[in-house]
Structure 1
Amino acid sequence: MAESPALRQRAGKKKATITTPEPEDLTAPYTKVTSGPKYSKKAYGIAVTVLTALAFITRFYRISHPAEVVFDEVHFGKFAAYYIQRTYFFDVHPPFAKLLFGFVGWLIGFDGEFKFENIGDDYVKNNVPYVLMRALPATLGALTVPIVFGIMQEANYGLPACVLAASWVLFDNAHIAETRLILLDACLVFSMAFSIYAYVCFMRHSKTPFTRGWWMWLMLTGLGLSSVFSTKYVGLFTYFTIGVGVLFDLWRLLDVNHGLTLPQFGKHFAARAWGLIIMPFCIYLFWFWVHFTVLSKSGPGDDFMSPEFQATLSDNPLTASSVPVYYGDVITLQHKDTKAFLHSHPGRYPLRYEDGRVSSQGQQVTGYPFDDINNHWRIHPGSPVRVAGDAILNGDLFKLEHVQTNTILLTHDVASPNYPTNQEFTTVPIVDANAGRFNDTVFELRMEKGKPGQPWRTKAGLARIVAKQYGVAMWTQNTKPLPDWGFKQQEINGNKAITQPSNIWYPASVVGPAEAERLATEPKKEVKTVPFLKKWWELQTAMIRHNNALTSEHPYASWPGSWPFLSRGVSFWTKDATREQIYLLGNPVGWIIASSTLAVYAGIALAQALTERRGVKVLSERDGRRIWEVTGFFVLAWAAHWIPFWGMGRQLFLHHYLPGHLCSSLVLGAVVEFIGSRIHEKAARIIGNGHDARKFKEEMARGVGMEEVMVTGLLGVLVWTFWWFAPVTYGTPGLDVEGVLGRKWMSTWDLHFAK
């Protein structure tokens, strides 16, 4: 028994001493009759060694096949190549796992020349050391299996439960297919599993706080959390899982009966804040620092960043060939997002549109993707205080003359062809523009993050072109082109949502010799430096914005409700000549059983809560709490890695459920042990009735119990199903029509070569 510190009493009363029992170890085995023998440490060691060996075999088996680019290797292999060549790129995911691929590629001598452009591109012909690059995720995928085993063991589940949970990941076809390729999910799932393992180990040291072991596992938990969040932002779900556990633990420590003073509690709080928030965030920032340090050259990601950011990259066009724009210049204007040029031609808007609306019948103004003489516009002052030859500055008023037709750009209160809520853009003769329609032709230059009076420059001068009279910004898009009368070109219109990021344009060039002359007289520009945190924040906001914009349809996208019971897969790769294919599909039996177990757990937890409410003691208090607080923690982890996807508007695929499937495997092992121990105990009571019950129970404890029988049966079905679907997991051998149809257990599986 441990004594808590004395509590001060008011009114001069004597100090009262409260004695409290040591906190219960909820990770201890069930107190009832065990469902099998108490396995030795050696047995656990042998089991985890065998499982780990099988994990490496299943992940590395024929890892060289196919010797072609598969699925999203087009992205992550390409990013590794960019790291090696130090050229800047943009991606919606944090850099940690991509840096690992780049580092491995650099170690093995990959020069980065091969850019993984298309699915099916040949690795062997291009001398790409792809097998060693695939070995990284395969190794992480294999090591995830013993970590799952370790989570169950540290939570004090029996050997059968440990083997069952680890095997559910070991023999899962989706985990294997995903971790044999140059993809991020192997690192994500490994880091997520390691975070949970480290946290369980940390909680095992809760009785000895601030010892070396306690600090070590706290820091390793933070390291795991940092790794999962630095791989993909869905790592926040793992943060939430462990964060809830930490809050419950702190709430327990705050209880006065636990015996901690407020300063002592503050020490616990500060330690967790440092180990699980501050330190992981610093590591997260470190990977971005490495990212910026390595990617020092201009590359395909430049356009996603501001001119100030781009100026920090060597060989960037903004640094090398940006010149100021003056009134009287003939320029081309280019849309930042679609790269279309502002364009006009003699063609006119039709009298009536398809929906019956009447147009202005004015000259068409469109977006055109190619360099053309009809993209040339002369810029004139829109205010009497500015004259030809003056530099154009942020905030200036100006007019644009279409050089080929000698007309002036204008917007007016007429609905645009495709967007009736937006204003039509057209041009009018110069005489009209200078007479009654002058105000309709005046536009204001609003440079993105520009300072007052800042000069407008080619390539670097990102800006909104805003109609002064109507307060609309010039805008275009490439998803809804004009009909045949508009030559299928992009529509240009006035967008009332001025601050929308897609309203950005910039002067692509000054037409004629003026640009070359200015460039020759411009002082040589040096690569600029921008504070790290400013660069990080700009990239961070751009990543979040573009990630949320991934809403386009994909033939293999799926919704979260289809994942637990595996009603939708993803085609990774096909080869018609040999009828081979890689189709991302989990082990059907494994996924259905694991998902069904979650419902079984819900029934057990509800029954335990109801019986306890009615005063019926079915389980001991500790066993009941173990159902809620240990197995319940695994259920929380599953829910945290599944439910948030329901609120996402972006594209989602089956591989997003892999962390959730791993958590459901932990629940499966826990529930099977619970059920097996209950059946075993019931059998001991019934059969032992009338005999020496104590001796009988001891004999049963040494023998094979119901749990072992259940685990053996489940593993048999699991392994057979894994073997049956192995051809579409490994992409070999090719299957005939009968073989494909024999594996199409659901009509929603889009397996190839079924005819």
Structure 2
Amino acid sequence: MASTPGLRGRRVRSGAGPSSAVDFDQDDDHNSLYSNHSRHRSSIEQFLDSEQASIAMVGVLTALAFALRFYKINNPDEVVFDEVHFGKFASHYIQREYYFDVHPPLAKLLFGLAGWFVGFDGQFQFENIGDSYTENHVPYVGMRALPAILGSLTVPIVYAIMKESGYSTIVAAFSACIVLFDNAHVAQSRLILLDATLIFFMSLTIYSYIRFRKLRYLEFSSEWWTWLIATGVFMACTWASKVNGILTVVAIGIAVLVDLWDILDIRKGHSMEHFWRHFSARATGLILIPLIVYLTTFYIHFAVLNTSGPGDTFMSPAFQETLKGNELLLNSQEIRYFDTVTIRHKNTKVFLHSHWERYPLKYDDGRISSQGQQVTGYGHADTNNEWQIIPTKALPETGRGRVVRYNDVVQLLHVNTQSYLLTHDVASPLMATNQEFTTWPKEDVVSRYNDTLFQLHLIDAYEGEAWKSKSGHFRLVHVPTKVSMWTYVNQLPEWAFKQQEINGNKNAQEKTATWYVDEILSDETGLDPRGRTGEVPAKQPKKMNFFKKFAELQLLMLQHNAGLTASHPYASSPINWPFLLTGISFWTQGEDQKQIYLIGNLVGWWACVVALSIYVGIIGADLLARRRGITPIPEPVRNRLWNNTGFFIVIWAVHYFPFFLMSRQLFIHHYLPSHLASALVAGAVLSFVMSETINYPISIRGPLMDRPRHPQEADLGINGPIVVGLFTLMMFAMFMYIAPLTYGTPGLTGEQVNSKRLLSSWTLHFAAKASGES
């Protein structure tokens, strides 16, 4: 412990005059009030804080990180958990086939590059968990090596963050060991998953920003610019690796706003010109450059994926026609009046369908229908899906005048029942707010003519553009009532054969009310329409502005990410994550009773929770004491707690609390970025508890430093290394105890599984029953 007693009990009068005040920078470098107190650091601590010991510590931590993450990385030799997605995406990159995913492309591009580098041909599609890599000759070890390398390098980066923040070697090693011996971080780093890449770039972002802040007395120097730009680049890479990387951008943004607010303070003596210069520099390094990097990853993504693939149908027709071999590009045809077609809903893929059966006169809720012919959405090919396009204007006998165009008003004749599509002011079966769709007999159409009129609103089209099959997405808007034909996933009762409801949505611009002509079956003569255009030359992919493609994909990513609301047996609530109340079953093998269960190191995670709680308690007590004119914490130590540890707290909170607002599926691995931040907080709190002083100054001396600094060093005494050593042994013991769940080997008996189930909420496989082994 520190040799100077009583610093935290020091009192000042609340009414002390200006002469008694001491001017402190609100940061980590200060003139010491206590420099006249000699420090007697132990020889062990002096050795540990030497440059040679620090380099050796980095080497040991890095070697251990690589050893733990590469140990039996070839096991299991089967597809594990979300490797079915991210391995498949790597295949698509190698095959250059377009796919859609809710996450930005950088981490997946790196997997594709790793696969290409180790000779993967992309033929294996990672269809199911448990599919064999060895039987299909997939070089999976090389692909898993990428996240293993990045996960291993994260450990020394955590150490470097703590050292650059002014903490001793032993404290920095403490934070690094929390990540080093964490089972969840190790498990995620050994598989073809995105989190290791995300956390690697996140840690580099934190490190770079701290290096940048330490150069504030050398502002606008080449080194200052280097670390500012590095922060921006790594921040963009974090964002481009996984969608929740945007939270790192928010965390750095908060820190930058606090920094700029401080520069704006008139007591600092800066002119507005000086402030705007700082603002412009940060806008360049932390907005413009990251945006360029982020956009570049998508530019590469589009350039590589230039061929038709499974992601085509998510995109607009204009986007799809930029892909080689796309069906819209090859097979779309102009639609002419009196063509018989099938019409399909873009989102749910059901066909517009009708049959002789009618709506019941009275629904279960007491509402009355028109008892008209049913119009439904049907998911399979059927002759009752066929509709003929009928004109509502005079047509020429031949020529281009018979082509259906944007904004044309048409009728749709159901071929099998010879009745016209109609909607009217009657409530639909399942939604009382929407209109019923039905049909009206052809022989009596005059009496309801206006109710059978619909206008074609082609999506992203120009006035007079021809309507085409496949590519001509449209909304069908009823002329009299302005409702748009719409469907959704809810099914009608048995009286409609469980088919989807079709109704009239009063929002005529509803984006999900989008349809397309799937196929032109025949023209008015009953002939195959493919022969009417003669020889058609091979079509080349069309061009589309990059920013339009980027904007379209970003919007879809956000929509589909928010739409991941289906239940999952291993989904969990954010409130459970810090306490490790539940994990995720990644993989099982019944024959040998092997399993991979994603769960963290209980010792490390619970220590982080305790550290977070202690920090909140310290800050609360400090605020209360200062309201009473008491300074329980020396000013340099207090500033370190508020500024540096506060920065770590912001990172933890920003990466954690937003998940409480999300309605999508959530899993414990979403907490890993916050867990890394909590490891940094844990080290800072340990330093506060073990020592009454800190290492300072930590900022690089420059011309703006207006007074000499009196260096001081933290004094953890002999107890610091002992406490950290014991805690590290406890974490290592816990890591080894649940390692069979992390590595998926060896197999465990039922009783052994029960012993590994440290919390009753852990849902492990192959557990023994109460009466004996299962």
Q: TM-score normalized by structure 2?
A: 0.88
Match of 2:674 in 1: 660
Match of 2:708 in 1: none
| C-alpha distance in structure 2 between counterparts of 1:518 and 1:725, whole Å | 69
Match of 1:612 in 2: 626
Match of 1:11 in 2: none
The reply to whether residue 392 of structure 1 matches residue 439 of structure 2 is: no
Match of 2:244 in 1: 234
Structure 2 counterparts to residues 70-109 of structure 1, below 5 A = 70-109=80-119
**Matching residue within 725, 734, 739 for 1:712:** 725
Cα offset for 1:22? 9.2
Q: Give SS of 2:673's match.
A: helix
Match of 1:684 in 2: none
Equivalent residue letter for 1:26 = D
Does the CA contact (< 8 Å) of 1:676 and 1:705 recur in 2?
Answer: no
Match of 1:566 in 2: 580
Does the CA contact (< 8 Å) of 2:693 and 2:714 recur in 1?
Answer: no
Match of 1:414 in 2: 426
Match of 2:3 in 1: none
Runs of 4+ aligned structure 1 residues displaced above 4 Å come to 20-25, 27-36, 383-389, 521-524, 700-704
In structure 2, the CA distance between the partners of 1:216 and 1:436, relative to structure 1 (3 Å rule), is same
Match of 1:4 in 2: none
Structure 2 counterparts to residues 671-710 of structure 1, below 5 A = 671-678=685-692, 704-710=717-723
Encode CA deviations 1:504-548: one digit per residue, 9 max, x unaligned: 100111103433114535454332112211221121222122222
Match of 1:467 in 2: 478
Q: Give SS of 2:491's match.
A: coil
In structure 2, the CA distance between the partners of 1:436 and 1:253, relative to structure 1 (3 Å rule), is same
Does the CA contact (< 8 Å) of 1:363 and 1:427 recur in 2?
Answer: yes
Encode CA deviations 1:346-379: one digit per residue, 9 max, x unaligned: 2222343333433333222222222221111111
| C-alpha distance in structure 2 between counterparts of 1:637 and 1:461, whole Å | 46
Equivalent residue letter for 2:471 = A
Structure 2 counterparts to residues 319-718 of structure 1, below 5 A = 319-383=329-393, 390-432=402-444, 434-478=445-489, 480-512=490-522, 513-518=527-532, 520-522=534-536, 524-678=538-692, 704-718=717-731
The reply to whether residue 724 of structure 1 matches residue 737 of structure 2 is: yes
| C-alpha distance in structure 1 between counterparts of 2:501 and 2:325, whole Å | 34
| C-alpha distance in structure 2 between counterparts of 1:703 and 1:277, whole Å | 40
In structure 2, the CA distance between the partners of 1:386 and 1:495, relative to structure 1 (3 Å rule), is farther
Equivalent residue letter for 1:609 = L
Match of 1:50 in 2: 60
| C-alpha distance in structure 2 between counterparts of 1:124 and 1:201, whole Å | 45
Does the CA contact (< 8 Å) of 2:120 and 2:138 recur in 1?
Answer: yes
| C-alpha distance in structure 1 between counterparts of 2:213 and 2:543, whole Å | 45
Q: Comparing 26-35 with 720-729, which one deviates more in the overlay?
A: 26-35
Q: Comparing 148-157 with 298-307, which one deviates more in the overlay?
A: 298-307
Does the CA contact (< 8 Å) of 2:321 and 2:329 recur in 1?
Answer: yes
| C-alpha distance in structure 2 between counterparts of 1:614 and 1:164, whole Å | 35
| C-alpha distance in structure 2 between counterparts of 1:311 and 1:179, whole Å | 38
Q: Give SS of 1:366's match.
A: strand
In structure 2, the CA distance between the partners of 1:270 and 1:179, relative to structure 1 (3 Å rule), is same
In structure 2, the CA distance between the partners of 1:737 and 1:490, relative to structure 1 (3 Å rule), is same
Q: Give SS of 2:752's match.
A: helix
User: How many residues are aligned here?
Assistant: 716
Does the CA contact (< 8 Å) of 1:464 and 1:474 recur in 2?
Answer: yes
Cα offset for 1:386? 8.7
| C-alpha distance in structure 2 between counterparts of 1:94 and 1:616, whole Å | 50
| C-alpha distance in structure 1 between counterparts of 2:26 and 2:714, whole Å | 24
Equivalent residue letter for 1:450 = A
Does the CA contact (< 8 Å) of 2:693 and 2:715 recur in 1?
Answer: no
Encode CA deviations 1:316-373: one digit per residue, 9 max, x unaligned: 1121111111110100001111111111222222343333433333222222222221
| C-alpha distance in structure 2 between counterparts of 1:29 and 1:128, whole Å | 61
Structure 2 counterparts to residues 200-349 of structure 1, below 5 A = 200-349=210-359
Match of 1:685 in 2: none
Match of 1:121 in 2: 131
Q: Give SS of 2:753's match.
A: helix
Q: Give SS of 2:402's match.
A: coil
Q: Comparing 642-651 with 412-421, which one deviates more in the overlay?
A: 412-421
In structure 2, the CA distance between the partners of 1:242 and 1:710, relative to structure 1 (3 Å rule), is same
In structure 2, the CA distance between the partners of 1:494 and 1:146, relative to structure 1 (3 Å rule), is same
Equivalent residue letter for 1:402 = H
Q: Give SS of 2:390's match.
A: strand
Q: Give SS of 2:368's match.
A: coil
The reply to whether residue 746 of structure 1 matches residue 748 of structure 2 is: no
Q: Comparing 186-195 with 543-552, which one deviates more in the overlay?
A: 543-552
Cα offset for 1:580? 1.2
Encode CA deviations 1:470-499: one digit per residue, 9 max, x unaligned: 222212223x22222222222222222332
Encode CA deviations 1:220-252: one digit per residue, 9 max, x unaligned: 111110100111232222122222222222233
| C-alpha distance in structure 2 between counterparts of 1:206 and 1:655, whole Å | 36
Cα offset for 1:469? 2.2
In structure 2, the CA distance between the partners of 1:488 and 1:258, relative to structure 1 (3 Å rule), is same
Does the CA contact (< 8 Å) of 1:677 and 1:706 recur in 2?
Answer: no
Indicate the structure whose relative CO is greater, using CA pairs within 8 Å and at least 6 residues apart.
Answer: 2
In structure 2, the CA distance between the partners of 1:735 and 1:529, relative to structure 1 (3 Å rule), is same
| C-alpha distance in structure 2 between counterparts of 1:267 and 1:610, whole Å | 38
Equivalent residue letter for 1:727 = P
Q: Give SS of 1:344's match.
A: strand
Match of 1:690 in 2: none
Identity of aligned residues (%): 49
The reply to whether residue 174 of structure 1 matches residue 184 of structure 2 is: yes
Match of 1:68 in 2: 78
| C-alpha distance in structure 1 between counterparts of 2:594 and 2:363, whole Å | 50
In structure 2, the CA distance between the partners of 1:344 and 1:702, relative to structure 1 (3 Å rule), is closer
| C-alpha distance in structure 1 between counterparts of 2:325 and 2:653, whole Å | 48
Q: Give SS of 2:216's match.
A: coil
Cα offset for 1:554? 1.8
In structure 2, the CA distance between the partners of 1:753 and 1:386, relative to structure 1 (3 Å rule), is farther
Does the CA contact (< 8 Å) of 1:28 and 1:155 recur in 2?
Answer: no
Cα offset for 1:633? 0.9
Q: Give SS of 1:714's match.
A: helix
Q: Give SS of 1:436's match.
A: helix
Does the CA contact (< 8 Å) of 1:91 and 1:543 recur in 2?
Answer: yes
| C-alpha distance in structure 1 between counterparts of 2:384 and 2:244, whole Å | 47
Q: Give SS of 1:477's match.
A: strand
Q: Give SS of 1:405's match.
A: coil
Q: Give SS of 1:502's match.
A: coil
| C-alpha distance in structure 1 between counterparts of 2:397 and 2:337, whole Å | 7
| C-alpha distance in structure 2 between counterparts of 1:35 and 1:748, whole Å | 46
Q: Give SS of 1:435's match.
A: helix
| C-alpha distance in structure 1 between counterparts of 2:667 and 2:117, whole Å | 32
Does the CA contact (< 8 Å) of 2:458 and 2:472 recur in 1?
Answer: yes
Unaligned ranges ≥5, structure 1: 1-19, 681-697
Equivalent residue letter for 1:487 = F
In structure 2, the CA distance between the partners of 1:652 and 1:701, relative to structure 1 (3 Å rule), is closer
Q: TM-score normalized by structure 1?
A: 0.91
Cα offset for 1:28? 8.1
Equivalent residue letter for 2:147 = P
In structure 2, the CA distance between the partners of 1:155 and 1:296, relative to structure 1 (3 Å rule), is same
In structure 2, the CA distance between the partners of 1:28 and 1:550, relative to structure 1 (3 Å rule), is farther
Unaligned ranges ≥5, structure 2: 1-21, 695-711, 770-774
